[in-house]
Amino acid sequence: MPLPQDELTALAARLDDAALTATAVPQPTWPPGADTDDAYAVQSALMNRQLARGERTVGLKMGLTSRAKMVQVGVSEVIWGRLTDRMRVPDGGAVDVSTLIHPRVEPEVAFLIGRDVLPGDDFASAVAAVAPALEVIDSRYADFRFSLPDVIADNTSAAGFAIGPWQPPPTALANLGVLLEIDGRVVQTGSTAAILGDPRRAFEEAVRLAGRQGVRLREGWVLLAGAATAAVPLAPGAQVRAVVEGLGTASLSAKGDDRA
Ligand code: 0L1
Ligand code: MG
């Protein structure tokens, strides 16, 4: 039985307020029978609140695409969320961490969608460009603890992203070295192979999973393919850089007071 509309909108409002006030909330209690469709319905209601405030959808993100991330958060399924223009940080720009609860940052690969995507469209025909990227995540739940439906409802912890220089998709994407640096020190190393074996699979999963909820990738949107390493805490003053072999770098800094 689908989640009753009043419970769905109440949970969306609670998560929205948590983000707006940078105050963590307890994990929800889902009624018996609630499933990921219910959780995506809450995510959609949460997004509608953000769009009603004037934000614009600029893309989608894939989450938990690597074993490292699944193990880090104790969840074992690929998930997706929505990106708005408010989350975009210019490459080299600053994120105000005082507006976030317990932010973390992770190195990613981003795709630029070249045309409206139909079911069955493949990576080569739909993706116009590829770039190194950083994602800032910030669970709205206390202690960064959640179940699968919890994190889907919370828009997969999406909070910010920075994208490095775009370039035409290279022929090989499946095993590029990835570094995450903080203040010039390497804090995580990985490979794009950690992203579903090949980040291009993240495109296929986005088409399949978002399509199940009636959402299609649009021309000009960004798709964050997922992280190649575990995420690390983002503290004020940090200078962060993702380096992806052959693709270059994306960077951001953290400003503001520490809320963690
Ligand atoms: O982008 C991600 O992989 C994050 C998905 C949600 C889980 C988390 O907050 O770590
Ligand atoms: Mg991510």
Domain ranges of the chain: 57-255
Find the 74 Cα to ligand 1 centroid distance in Å: 11
Atom of ligand 1 nearest to the CA of 69: 3
pLDDT in the model for residue 1: 63
Find the 137 Cα to ligand 1 centroid distance in Å: 6
Give the 3-state secondary structure of the chain: CCCCHHHHHHHHHHHHHHHHHCCCECCCCCCCCCCHHHHHHHHHHHHHHHHHCCCCEEEEEEECCCHHHHHHHCCCCCEEEEEEHHHEECCCCEEEHHHCCCCEEEEEEEEEECCCCCCCCCHHHHEEEEEEEEEEECCCEHHHCCCHHHHHHCHHHEEEEEECCCECCCCCCCCCEEEEEECCEEEEEEEHHHCCCCCHHHHHHHHHHHHHCCCCCCCCCEEEEEECCCCEECCCCCEEEEEECCCEEEEEEEECCCCC
Find the 156 Cα to ligand 2 centroid distance in Å: 8
Q: Is the CB of 107 under 6 A from ligand 1?
A: no
pLDDT in the model for residue 258: 62
Ligand closest to 226 (CA) is 2
Task: Show pLDDT as tens, one digit a residue, over the chain (260 residues).
Answer: 678 899 999 999 999 999 999 999 999 999 988 999 999 999 999 999 999 999 999 999 999 998 777 887 787 789 999 999 999 999 999 999 999 999 999 999 999 999 999 988 999 999 999 999 999 999 999 999 999 999 999 999 999 999 999 999 999 999 999 999 999 999 999 999 999 999 999 999 999 999 999 999 999 999 999 999 999 999 999 999 999 999 999 999 999 976 55
pLDDT in the model for residue 247: 97
Residue with CA at minimum distance from ligand 1 atom 8: 157
Find the 152 Cα to ligand 1 centroid distance in Å: 9
CATH number of 57-255: 3.90.850.10
